[in-house]
């Protein structure tokens, strides 16, 4: 009991940390609706957990309001640090999907990939998915705290 009291008494002893920069794994993300709810985006990173200052790619699965895969949209993925006024120091490339001889491209299963992303600093990033698809244009913003 004495030890328990000691521990309880000391819980308030550590000073409150301000502006602590936490290098934490990127949490998993549940399916998220775009701003106008035209689509739903489910995404994950490779590698995962996401290390700082390392190239990574994002795989995003796009579905429509009924839950069906959207295979013929254009999805652009980017990220910025809103409080710092800059984006990434890389130029990510969106996978064009499977294209036919005429240049028409589809993304089987509604899966879209973007490679060459890098979060070079800890802090608050804003991940942005811009979708241009059959239901119209829409976007999703996801705050990411690293």
Partner 1 sequence: MLILLLACAVPTGWTPAERATIASLSPIPAPLPSPTNRVADDPAAARLGEALFFDAGLSIDGKTACATCHVPGLHFTDGKRFPTAIGTGTRNTPSLETVAWGTWFFWDGRSDSVWAQATGPMRDAKEMGATPEHIQARLREAHATGLSEVFGGVAEDPTDAMVQAGKALEAYQRTLAPKPARFDRYAADLAAGTDSDVLTAEEKAGLRLFVGEATCVSCHHGPLFTDHSFHNLGLPSIPDGGIDPGRARGAGQVGVDALNCRSAHADRPADLAADAEPCPELRYLDASFPDWAAAFKTPSLRNVAETAPYMHDGQFGSLAAVLAFYDTLPGRPLVGHRELTLEPLALSGAEIEALEAFLRTLTSEAPAAPASP
Smallest separation (angstroms) from partner 1 to the CB of 80: 12
Confirm if 78 and 128 have CB atoms less than 8 A apart. yes
Cis status, amide bond into 49, omega within 30 of 0: yes
Segment lying near partner 1 (by CB under 8 A), choices 9-17, 32-40, 60-68, 69-77? 9-17
Smallest separation (angstroms) from partner 1 to the CB of 82: 11
Nearer to partner 1 among residue 21 and residue 35 (C-beta):
21
Question: Three-state DSSP class for 13?
Answer: coil
Check residue 48 for interaction with partner 1 (CB under 8 A): no
Check residue 46 for interaction with partner 1 (CB under 8 A): no
Integer Cα distance of 57 and 16 in angstroms:
36
Residue among 30, 66, 67, 85 that touches partner 1 (CB under 8 A): 85
Check residue 88 for interaction with partner 1 (CB under 8 A): yes
Strand order in the sheet with 124-133: 86-87, 74-81, 124-133, 136-145
């Amino acid at each position: 009991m004495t030890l328990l009291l000691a521990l309880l008494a000391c819980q308030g002893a550590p000073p409150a940390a301000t502006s602590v920069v936490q290098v934490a794994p990127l949490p998993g993300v549940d399916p998220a609706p775009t701003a106008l709810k035209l689509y739903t985006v489910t995404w994950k990173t490779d590698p995962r957990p996401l290390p700082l200052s390392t190239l990574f790619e994002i795989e995003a699965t796009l579905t429509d309001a009924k839950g069906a895969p959207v295979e013929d949209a254009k999805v652009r993925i980017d990220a910025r640090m809103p409080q710092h006024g800059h984006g990434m120091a890389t130029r990510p490339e969106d996978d064009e999907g499977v294209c036919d001889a005429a240049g028409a491209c589809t993304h089987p299963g509604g899966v879209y990939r973007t490679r060459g992303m890098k979060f070079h600093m800890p802090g608050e990033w804003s991940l942005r998915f811009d979708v241009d698809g059959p239901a119209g244009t829409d976007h999703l913003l996801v705050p990411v705290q690293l």
